Amino acid sequence: MQISVLLLLFAIALAPTVCTVIYLRTRNKKLLAIIGLGAFAWLVALIRSAILQPTYLLIGSPQPPPIWFIGFSAILAGIFEEGFRYKFLKSFVEEGTWLNGVAFGLGAALLEILLIYCIPIIKMAIIGETQNFSEMLAGAVERNLVVCIHVGSALLVMHSLRNRWILGIAVSFHSIVDFVAPTLGYYSSLTVWQVESIVAIFAVVALVIVYLEKIFLSKPVESIT
């Protein structure tokens, strides 16, 4: 893989999120700590959900993975990631503001880009493994869509600190996204870009959540019934 191609893919996957993080840093230096906290919460959830790997190995690691396993994985991802978001936000973030929620979601999204996309791409480049450029480009674009979903989910969890039942919506939304995308990728005749267009619909829903939560979280707690 040419260095220029590698840099292009990294730029597409990383630049929007990194630029947003830099912007937030200029707005408020404390947001950098919340971004780091969001990344750490995601990492802890990832490690705790490692129960999936022995289960997958136990059934012989079939390719593609069975639908039941995709569903199981999606549900656990929703429970662990949103559950740890809730725990970390409740324990360590004093102000339940919209901007803090955005920063928390961005931290998780940025670390996921690095671990799920960038490192595997670097590994393939080192060992000389080739992959279809269109698929790698789709993966880079998808990372930006997933950023929207992370931020929307984080804001739902921030909302749940005031209304706990909202946490169930966050878990459900996350689980549905994690089930639909790989299921379509493995079991439908859709192209990779058609699958990404469906992921984009979820990203748009997440952006609507981001907008609505900006309105909700701007209200003082005592004014919310």
pLDDT of residue 206: 97
pLDDT of residue 209: 96
pLDDT of residue 217: 85
pLDDT digit string, tens, across residues 197-213: 999 999 999 999 999 99
pLDDT of residue 61: 56
Q: Per the domain annotation, does 73 fall within a domain?
A: yes
Q: Per the domain annotation, does 37 fall within a domain?
A: yes
CA of 37: how far to CAs of 12, 43, 56, 109, 164, in Å?
A: 24, 10, 30, 12, 21
Q: Per the domain annotation, does 85 fall within a domain?
A: yes
pLDDT of residue 132: 82
Question: In which residue ranges of the chain is pLDDT below 50?
Answer: 223-225
Domain carrying residue 68: 3-220
Q: Per the domain annotation, does 54 fall within a domain?
A: yes
pLDDT of residue 225: 40
Q: Per the domain annotation, does 45 fall within a domain?
A: yes
pLDDT of residue 224: 44
Q: What is the C-alpha to C-alpha distance for residues 66 and 128, in angstroms, rounded to an integer? A: 30
pLDDT of residue 99: 93
What lies within 8 Å, CB to CB, of 99 at 6+ separation is 24, 27, 28, 31
Burial zone of 159 (CB within 10 Å; 0-12 exposed, 13-18 middle, 19+ buried): buried
Q: Per the domain annotation, does 225 fall within a domain?
A: no
Q: Per the domain annotation, does 154 fall within a domain?
A: yes
The number of folded domains in the chain is: 1
Q: What is the C-alpha to C-alpha distance for residues 55 and 46, in angstroms, rounded to an integer? A: 15
pLDDT of residue 63: 74
pLDDT of residue 96: 84
